[in-house]
Amino acid sequence: MNIVLLSGGSGKRLWPLSNDIRSKQFIKIFKNSDNTYSSMVQRVYEQLKKVDPNSKITIATSKQQVSSIQNQLGTDVGISIEPCRRDTFPAIVLASSYLVDVMNVNENESVVVCPVDPYVDQEYFKALESLSIQSDKNEANLVLMGIEPTYPSEKYGYIIPNSKDQTSTVKTFKEKPSKEVAEQYISEGALWNGGVFAYKLKYVIDIAHKLIDFEDYYDLLNKYESLEKISFDYAVVEKENKIQVQRFNGLWKDLGTWNTLTESIDENIIGNGVMNDNCSNVHIVNELDVPVLAMGLHDVVISASPEGILVSDKEQSSYIKPFVDKFEQQVMFAEKSWGNFKVIDVEDGSMTIKVTLKTGHSMNYHSHQNRDEVWVVISGNGKTIVDGMHQNVQSGDVITMSAGCRHTIIAETELKLIEVQLGKDIDINDKKKYELEI
């Protein structure tokens, strides 16, 4: 089975845990049997592999998310990287071309496209397999998943099928309605459109060639920034007559807000938190190294991270985005392919960061034009390379780098260090990368 997982934007409705780099699908909030935590993308990836261990999984995402994906899933997962955001039609075309031209998947094979972040159980992934099998039959150019609605939602578009059969042709599509109109749609047998569908690769690539002047994946990648921003629904789905829908009535939740997310996590407290017995329906999610205490609260979510602190009525938390959009601050926490970093202090002329490198990983070999840096190793063992000079390092060692010098650090065990950046113009873009000769 070929799967394309669409990995979206910043997910600011889950601020302060999400930011421009760490989208909601990378937040580790689901507890495993070994007391570790998994993110949405890890959970979905593992569930897919259980249903079909041989499935080819490709994640369509922006270049800003690549490090987080590799940090959580490793470097073997396929990634179709969008140079910039151009909505779902260009993203799906790019991923389809990636499968054919880079991964050498036969264009007559079917592919299933779905979001990376639904909260589902194994029945959902069996349904994905069923979509792929139905697509292989060539009865339709597109096979959609229609989710049996559990309430008259205003957040989803609706699919109205021609029959109540498990697999039906589609009568029409409806845009996101008001609650009253949604009730009418449901009375007509409408299904939620969750953005899950299957098609033959050749079908989408042929449509793409009619709408876009390109030769192959590499040519499309070079032209990507010039492509029109348009959704797959508008460009393809709404114009296709040969289309089917398969019903799905299993567990499916869109965890896009704190309200819906807290309904689906097993613990009321994640991280350092305490609440008294007079609290009810309260969730604390704390990534800081300080305690959070809640007393006498009801229907409230409290979330704390290096990005900020949220205290909100759960229902009101759905309306967070306009407020967060007004915040102007740098990213305070991010996962990289080699580990992660957390900003712990910012002042005029300096920034202090805690860096964790995974065993066997290293930073890029790089330099900065406008700042000096100091590394203090606080745990682990590794090796630094500064302007070509190699040095073994361990807990307590201090390494200084002047502006302009090339440097990196390689972790032989998990390695933690404090990085102090010193300069009048500290900027995330002040970085030049080099090939490392070891």
CA distance 410 to 74: 18
Paired tokens of 349: 């002329």
Query: Are 55 and 202 in the same domain?
Result: yes
Q: What is the 3-state secondary structure (H, E, C) of 267-322?
A: CCEECCEEECCCCEEEEEEECCCCCEEECCCEEEEEEEECCEEEEEECCHHHHCHH
Cβ–Cβ < 8 Å for 363, 415: no
Could you report the average pLDDT of every consecutive run of 10 residues in the chain (438 residues)?
85 82 85 88 90 90 88 89 91 96 94 90 92 95 94 85 92 84 87 93 96 94 93 90 94 87 91 96 94 97 94 93 86 88 92 96 94 97 95 96 96 97 90 83
Paired tokens of 278: 């007079």
From 217, 236, 254, give the residue that closes a domain.
Answer: 254
Give per-residue burial for 225-237: e unless 16+ CB within 10 Å, then b: eebeeebbbebbb
Element (H, E) at 355: strand 350-357
Query: Are 11 and 58 in the same domain?
Result: yes
CA distance 165 to 125: 20
Query: Are 44 and 154 in the same domain?
Result: yes
Does residue 19 form part of some domain? Answer: yes
CA distance 217 to 92: 12
Query: Are 276 and 425 in the same domain?
Result: no
Query: Are 349 and 377 in the same domain?
Result: yes
Phi, psi of 74 (to 5 degrees): 90, 180
Confidence at residue 154, expressed as pLDDT on a 0 to 100 scale: 80
CA distance 384 to 391: 5
Does residue 330 form part of some domain? Answer: no
Domain extent at residue 221: 2-254
In this structure, what DSSP letter does residue 362 have? B
CA distance 315 to 272: 24
Query: Are 35 and 139 in the same domain?
Result: yes
CA distance 224 to 82: 8
Distances (CA, A) of 28 to 48, 92, 283, 311: 18, 27, 15, 20
pTM for this prediction: 0.81
From 254, 272, 289, give the residue that closes a domain.
Answer: 254
Confidence at residue 10, expressed as pLDDT on a 0 to 100 scale: 61
Confidence at residue 21, expressed as pLDDT on a 0 to 100 scale: 72
Which position has the token pair 């007509």? 188
CA distance 176 to 123: 26
The SS3 call for residue 314 is coil
Query: Structurally, how many domains does the chain consist of?
Result: 3
Give the count of beta carbons closer than 10 Å to the beta carbon of residue 135.
23
In this structure, what DSSP letter does residue 98 have? H
Query: Are 361 and 282 in the same domain?
Result: no
Does residue 170 form part of some domain? Answer: yes
What CATH code is carried by the domain that includes residue 46?
3.90.550.10
Does residue 332 form part of some domain? Answer: no
Number of residues assigned to the chain: 438
| Strand partners of residue 366 | 407, 433
Query: Are 143 and 24 in the same domain?
Result: yes
Confidence at residue 153, expressed as pLDDT on a 0 to 100 scale: 82
Does residue 327 form part of some domain? Answer: no
Does residue 329 form part of some domain? Answer: no
What CATH code is carried by the domain that includes residue 365?
2.60.120.10
Confidence at residue 80, expressed as pLDDT on a 0 to 100 scale: 94
From 319, 349, 372, give the residue that closes a domain.
Answer: 319
